Structures are given as structure tokens and as C-alpha cells.
Amino acid sequence: MKKIPLRALFLAGLSLITSIAQAQTPVFYSEPLIPYFSKVPTPPASVAEAFKMSAYDASTYTITSPAYLTEFRSKLSSIQEDIQISSAMLSMNAGPSTDTQMKLAAQMQDPVFQKKIEAMSQQEKMEFAMKMQQEMAAGSAPVQAEDEDVAEVINEIAEITTNLNTKHGLLNFENSLNGKYSAYSQKIKEYNLKMQEWEMAEVAKLPNLPQKMGVSAGKDPQKVKNIKLASINKQIEFMDQQLKAFNIEWNKYLQAVRPQLTKADQRFAKIEYYKRVRNNAFKNTLLAHQGTLLSYVQTMAEISELIIKESAELQALKLKVEHAPLTEYEGNL
């Protein structure tokens, strides 16, 4: 059997005590999620509507996400981060710190006691570390029984999360919002590629202008520009159709997910979120479920923002082409 160095054994015990002494209090998010769910903007039903919803810089023909939506997503990310940090903290301490643990932690912070440890021999340090670990183990708090209604709520929230993941999460990609957006986006990409091929074919049909000093003058730039604008108009028309279709899918998704999030909010409120939960292990379980539920709202906000920006960029491209000088279309798209 491999021997553990005395110093390593001592430091392991010391590290355990120090981690408890320095532990911070987890921050539990104790507000309903439905208000955030309701604040997610419905994706635009047309390119023109998307353009109005976005922030447009006319000097560069660029689109940026509306400030309110960027701030909203940042707020959701902050809440999710707090949930994840709190979960990590609870994972390091599945049960509540006992009086024995806290007394040992306080003792380890005492400068006089620290000097006493430094003066110990290796054998004394080993014996101290072993004794300390035994006291820590003996002082560990057993799992406490939760109130019956609290236990029921924990199970109900787990069931809500499982149902959502099974029916509308990545476990059922086609029926998830990510899946619906992926299908929508793929149709847009395929049509845009088709329009690029159409543009090239139409430009190729144009006759070349008379040569100037023996050099080909290429195609008529006005006609080339007109083809580009015609292509963009076709893309806008197609995107408008797809946006309307996606809105139908979006509303179906909302109707399916909203009742589940509402029910989860009600269950969390019933047990005062985390106040009535005695065991850190169960609190951690609830944090995991809460993080998952919040991720549904985050996904909605992310996809809504993507659709607004992508749709508005098509209108911005049209404006850019309309204002572009003909020299940009001399012979090429």
C-alpha cells in the first residue's frame, strides 16, 4: 500500500477546513420567470417590421440589435450565472456546515493556533490532521427530512423540467425552438443561394458594352444593379413568407411552454423558493431545474434577436445597393 506523505495528509485536512471557513453564501434567485418570458419580443412578421425594430446606422448601412434586447439578454445571462455559481458552491458542501465544522474553521483562523501548528513535529501534525478529519466526518450533518409538501414540490418541478426537455428541448430537436429556427434558417439560406445563382445567370445574359480603346467595357452597370435589386426584392418577399410561417410556429411553442413555466413558478412560490428547503443537495437539484427553465427563456430571446437582426440586414443591404454608385457594378455584381 502506497504511503501518503505526512505533509500531504496535513495539508489535505487544512484545505478542507479552510474551504469551509472561506465559503460564501450562495445567492438564490427567488423570483418568477414568467415576467421574463412575457418580455421576449415576438419575432417580426416581415422584413420591414424587423427593420423598424432594429438599430440602423445609415452611414455604414449596418444593423445592430436593439439596446433593450441586448440589455434583456444580459440580465438573463446574469441570473443564469448566479444560478450556476450557487450550484457550484452547494456542490462543494452538500450538507449544512455544523457547529463542529465551524468551530474548527474558527480555530484554524486563530494566529496563535497557527503558530502552535507550525511548532508541531511531523508526527504531531499527522495525528492532528487525522483527528481533524475524524471530527469533520463525525460533525457532518445527516440528510434532514423535508416537509412532505416540499418533497412533493421538488418532485413536481423535476417532472415539469423533464416534460419540457422531452417535448420541447434538445431531446426532441425538431419540436424545440432551436429546431424550428434551424429549419427556418435553412430555407432562407437555400433560397438565397438560389438567388445568387439566378443573379449570375441573368448578368451572363446581358450583352457586353462596346469596347473602349480595344478593352471590353463589360456589362451595363445599371442593368447589373437592377438585377441585384430584383434579387434582393425576391429574397425579401420569400423571407416575409417564412417569417409569417415562423410566427405561427413561435406562437404554438409559446402556448406549449408558457403553462409549464407558470406551473413551475407556482410550485417554487409554494415552498418560498429555497427558504423551506433544508438540505443543500435538494437546493442544488432545484437550482439545476431553475437553470434549465431559465434557459428556455434565454433561447427565445436569442432566437428573436437573431431573426430581427438577420431580417433587418436584408433591408439594409437593399438600401446600400440602391445608394451605391454605378461604378461598383461595372461588369460584375
Residue 196: pLDDT over 90: yes
Q: Side chain identity at 311, as an amino acid letter?
A: S
95, 140 in Cβ contact below 8 A?
yes
Q: What angle do CA 118, 124, 130 make, to 5 degrees?
A: 105
Q: Burial-class residue 300 by CB neighbours within 10 Å (0-12, 13-18, 19+).
A: buried
pLDDT digits (tens, 9 = 90+) for 114-165: 778 778 776 676 666 666 655 555 555 567 888 999 999 999 999 999 999 9
183, 249 in Cβ contact below 8 A?
no
Mean per-residue pLDDT, 91-103? 57
How far, in Å, CA of 158 to CA of 238, rounded? 42
β-strand pairing of 62-64 with 55-57: antiparallel
How far, in Å, CA of 332 to CA of 110, rounded? 79
Which triple of cell numbers denotes residue 158?
423535476
CB neighbour list of residue 154: distance below 8 Å, 6 or more residues apart: 146, 277, 282, 285, 286
Please give the pLDDT value at position 191: 98
* pTM for the model: 0.77
pLDDT digits (tens, 9 = 90+) for 254-312: 999 999 999 999 999 999 999 999 988 899 999 999 999 999 999 999 999 999 999 99
pLDDT digits (tens, 9 = 90+) for 36-51: 999 999 999 999 999 9
Beta pairing partners, 63: 56
CB neighbour list of residue 162: distance below 8 Å, 6 or more residues apart: none
H-only helix segments in the chain: 6-21, 34-39, 47-53, 67-91, 99-108, 111-118, 122-139, 148-168, 177-205, 221-270, 280-323
More confident residue, 92 or 114: 114
Please give the pLDDT value at position 114: 73
How far, in Å, CA of 34 to CA of 261, rounded? 6
Q: Three-state DSSP class for 180?
A: helix
9, 130 in Cβ contact below 8 A?
yes
Mean per-residue pLDDT, 324-331? 84
How far, in Å, CA of 15 to CA of 235, rounded? 63
Residue 168: pLDDT over 90: yes
Exposure pattern of 79-94 as b/e (b: 16+ CB <10 Å)?
Answer: bbebbeebbebbeebe
Confidence of residue 103 (pLDDT cuts 50, 70, 90): low
45, 251 in Cβ contact below 8 A?
no
Confidence of residue 1 (pLDDT cuts 50, 70, 90): very low
- Side-chain-side CA neighbours of 243 within 13 Å: the count stands at 23
pLDDT digits (tens, 9 = 90+) for 59-84: 999 999 989 999 999 999 999 999 99
Percentage of the residues of the chain whose pLDDT score is greater than 70: 78
Please give the pLDDT value at position 132: 64
Please give the pLDDT value at position 20: 44
How far, in Å, CA of 6 to CA of 33, rounded? 51
Residue 32: pLDDT over 70: yes
Residue 230: pLDDT over 50: yes
